[in-house]
Structure 1
Amino acid sequence: MSVGDALSKRPDAILERGEGALNRGLELMETYGIPKGILMPLQSTVEEGGGVEATGDIWLKQKSTVKHFFKLASSYVSYSSEISCKLEKNKMKDIKGVKARKKYMPIMLPIREIVVDDDEEEGGDGNGTHRVKKIHFKAYSNLEESFPAEYFNNM
């Protein structure tokens, strides 16, 4: 039994089908402070999704695996046909079904956690400094890559 199947049996689970499934997931992510652009490549493929608001658990099922290249982050991401995670404030953890690799890497690594900074950090853009909010992607192998959160706001 998949995570989504198990969670959808809970009496407090919200289950959506069709276009509403991705929209509901995006709303929940935004509520928890996660940039919606992380899931935007799935716009036309999600068939079903749901969540348990009390626990922060969400899942999405789609027709097939989707691969996407995030140009600003210079990274490839693969979304499997079922994705699940637990949302907390500024964090997605226990992620299942998402793998990523940098353009120059030969293998995809499973992403286990995504964390968005609460505070913005000082960053330079060549014309002085400005405040930059970072998003951190953590793999099971304890590798971590960070990018400006604006790379994933809306695509």
Structure 2
Amino acid sequence: MANQLIETHREGAEVYSTPDLCKAKSYELLEELDMPNGLLPMNEMIEVGYNRTTGFVWLIQKELVKHHFEKIDRKVTYDTVVTAFVEKHKMKKLHGVKAKEMMIWLPLNEIYIGSDSTKITFGSYTGISRSFPVSAFIEEVKKVEEEKKVEEEKKVEEIKA
């Protein structure tokens, strides 16, 4: 179903298909929506698309990602295909994202920042919603850049050895 939805919105969309560019564009999208930059911690993305006319977004990655948001002690999975309709402060008709609540994985259908801009709310199809501090989803870009630099230095050392 997700692939059919993507195909119907592909015409006129911005589509990116190199991993580094996909990651950069996912950050840009979150920034444009005024959403926290750590909200989509997806790895090895192979395609990101955004149809600005319809507000439809898709992110495709090689394999499912399980992520633990330490600041709120919550686990979330991101399927190989994640889709949503987006607007400022909001992702709706979300598909491909599940959050663990108690012992059950609940599919999320919306994420939004309401009038209290310090809180972000996650809603499921069951009607259950939870709000958390926006700060829990802000990725420290400097920390990520430092980790990349350390990785690059390790590779250089391995080549020299």
More deviation, 92-101/29-38: 29-38
Aligned to 1:15: 15
Look at both structures and tell me which one has the larger radius of gyration over its CA atoms. 2
Q: Establish whether residue 110 from structure 1 lines up as the match of residue 144 from structure 2.
A: no
Aligned to 2:155: none
Aligned to 1:4: 6
Q: In the TM superposition, what are the counterparts of 1:57-76 in structure 2 within 5 Å? A: 57-76=56-75
In terms of fraction of residues, the more helix-rich structure is 2
Unmatched runs of 5 consecutive residues or more in structure 1: 121-132
Q: In the TM superposition, what are the counterparts of 1:84-95 in structure 2 within 5 Å? A: 84-95=83-94
Root mean square deviation, CA, Å? 1.4
Aligned partners of 1:5 and 1:22: how far apart in 2?
21
Aligned partners of 1:90 and 1:66: how far apart in 2?
24
Runs of 4+ residues over 3 Å off in structure 1: none
Q: Give the total of aligned pairs.
A: 137
Aligned partners of 2:26 and 2:137: how far apart in 1?
15
Q: Establish whether residue 81 from structure 1 lines up as the match of residue 80 from structure 2.
A: yes
| Amino-acid identity (%) | 34
Aligned to 2:134: 149
Q: Which residue identity does 1:34 align to in structure 2?
A: M
Greater relative contact order (Cα < 8 A, sep 6+):
1
TM-score, length basis structure 1: 0.82
TM-score, length basis structure 2: 0.79
- Answer yes or no: is the 8 Å Cα contact 2:120–2:131 preserved in 1: yes
Aligned partners of 2:61 and 2:67: how far apart in 1?
14
Question: Cα distance, 1:45 vs. partner?
Answer: 1.5
Aligned partners of 2:121 and 2:111: how far apart in 1?
6
Q: Establish whether residue 139 from structure 1 lines up as the match of residue 131 from structure 2.
A: no
Structure 1 residues 54-100: Cα deviation after superposition (integer angstroms, max 9, x where no partner): 22211011001000110111110000000000111111100000000
Aligned partners of 1:96 and 1:51: how far apart in 2?
15
Aligned to 1:101: 100
Partner secondary structure for residue 55 of structure 1? coil
Q: Which residue identity does 2:108 align to in structure 1?
A: I
Aligned partners of 1:56 and 1:118: how far apart in 2?
21
Question: Cα distance, 1:24 vs. partner?
Answer: 1.4
- Answer yes or no: is the 8 Å Cα contact 1:16–1:48 preserved in 2: yes
Q: In the TM superposition, what are the counterparts of 1:37-48 in structure 2 within 5 Å? A: 37-39=38-40, 41-42=41-42, 44-48=43-47
Aligned to 2:157: none
- Answer yes or no: is the 8 Å Cα contact 2:9–2:54 preserved in 1: no
Aligned to 1:124: none
Partner secondary structure for residue 36 of structure 1? coil
